[in-house]
Chains A and B, each alone.
Chain A
């Protein structure tokens, strides 16, 4: 086979491996342009794996590339495959500097995705044609397109999220495709003809593995959500206790007021006098609107969180006016997602306003969806300015490196949950307020 063709194949392979590694180790926030340096490194390494030396030939020592056995994995025997995984582990651990376990999970995961994509590509182009080179290219192109597509979706992000907290099952999910497919390849001596003859078996094994991994990942995801929920309960339930003690103290006050009313009625000589005394006493004993709204809220976690934010704002001499006319627990959106949205919107508003200002927080039901908005006083903004703020890394705060991800995360979350982002200007007491909010199912 012509060396140019082999080098082109290696370019495809290294690009694909780069995308797999980058997807597994870099989040959209930490991606860097200099990561592209990994492409030539992986390219040289893959070239080295295909390089062979033939000594003692009539033409002397010949250097050449191995043409066969690289149709699925970038190695044509088990030893080179093991060596390759080890070197990739080495490169990833040095370049991305992940935690010890994540270096193994990430590398194995990247390699599993690579092998699965190539096997799927082979399954699609398994028919025999005269132009085998074109088929090889088509297979590589399809696999590369598949991985590129996954790279630009949230696939890797979700996989990373689940695997990062997965413990033993994360190691199993990330490595089982590599282990099983490497064994299958080794069993067929990396011979593409043998593999094609048994493609039904190979595809069947891959399908079963994908099903098994999906079930395990789903189980892991539910476990992760439960853990998150538990963590939030631990975080916000103590605040709920604070709300309860605050209301109890008011209850004590009410009891005293009732005694005073009783005394006022008994001591009055006429009905008019009694009415006058009672109305004077009851004037200041209504529950604060915020407290009433907190009691209306059906989610204890969200109540705790809102109360915490109200107290935090109070310390900065900022008023929060709360209106809750909706049920959070009736929504499809989980409490953990609501906590993320509310936290970001309120933090942004608290940071944007100055002492003495009022922030309006409203939650209301619109058909089967819940609208949550936060309004804070600010100069009027155009639609383009609003949209620009939802871009990644864009912030109006001073320290750019640590900000600019909140609204972007809300946008991603809203896309994931098929919700809507709400942004507009409104006038309250002849002052302009900017409103940021979401409409989630």
Chain B
């Protein structure tokens, strides 16, 4: 199994590393610049402001370096040649593990490094006085590094779920653009529909970035509902494509 994992990593290591590097540089630049136009009460707010665009574009950051891999292996019949050496289930498991770890780090590394950058390397002007409300205010104000680390990990886990949706698309669909943009379209549509229905607290974006809504709207349920809905979407998609449409990984 470890050899398969290594070989899978070799296939995606270049785009993944490049994405991590570019996102990190972009996050550091944005963290250093965006906060200059705002009044801040805590240092970590520079991080929140700087990574605002990432919260919107994170599905593309994950699918762009990873989504193409399985699709092209299917298109070029590579998966058929893998079958005599390893079972399809094991092969897909290994691929998913490598992709999931990559997706986790594509999100975790830029977020974590920009948090460290905001806390220790830049010098924002901090306003003193009554602090406005914030989710987990105590941790946010007193242990900001721990807060940023936990939130970055959480974001990384949501990235794994987005990757899983992309992976299911890549397993069965024939259109590379649906595979790559599908998860992004899902997050935007889910965001739009739930906002229209007045259920903003249950959106995936709320779970990904809890500070987007008022503190009163955030609860454990609001944190879990977005990912739970996404998990349901992944399972339904897999069931629909595999069981109902009878699509298979080897047929492209």
- A contact set with B: CB distance below 8 Å: 48, 51, 53, 55, 61, 63, 79, 82-83, 86-87, 89-90, 93-94, 97, 100, 103
Contacts and interface: CB of A to CB of B under 8 A. Distances in A.
Contacts of A103: 177
Interface residues of B, number: 18
B192 A48 contact: yes
A22 B65 CA distance: 30
B176 interface: yes
Contacts, number: 39
Given A93-B175, A93-B178, A103-B177, A87 B196 contact: no
A63 B196 contact: yes
A103 B176 CA distance: 10
Given A79-B56, A87-B185, A90-B185, A55 B200 contact: yes
B111 interface: no
B162 to A, nearest CB: 15
A93 B173 CA distance: 12
Contact of B188 (A63, A83, A93, A97): A83
Given A79-B53, A83-B188, A90 B196 contact: no
Contact of A86 (B184, B196, B198, B200): B184
Contacts of A53: 195-196
Interface in B47-106: 53, 56-57, 60
15 contacts: A55-B198, A55-B200, A61-B198, A63-B196, A79-B53, A79-B56, A83-B184, A83-B188, A86-B184, A87-B181, A90-B177, A90-B181, A90-B182, A93-B175, A97-B175
A55 B203 CA distance: 15
Dominant secondary structure of chain B at its interface with chain A = helix
B198 A100 contact: no
Given A89-B181, A90-B185, 12 more contacts: A53-B196, A55-B198, A86-B60, A86-B181, A86-B184, A89-B177, A90-B178, A90-B181, A94-B175, A94-B177, A97-B175, A100-B176
B216 to A, nearest CB: 12
Contacts of B200: 55
B12 to A, nearest CB: 19
A61 B200 CA distance: 12
Nearest to B189: A48
A61 to B, nearest CB: 6
Contacts of A97: 175
A16 to B, nearest CB: 22
Interface in B185-199: 185, 188, 192, 195-196, 198
- Give the top 10 A-B pairs by smallest Cβ distance, nearest first: A93-B177, A90-B181, A86-B181, A93-B175, A89-B177, A53-B195, A100-B176, A79-B56, A90-B177, A103-B177
A82 B196 CA distance: 22
A100 B184 CA distance: 19
Nearest to A87: B185
Interface in B3-55: 53
A82 B56 CA distance: 11
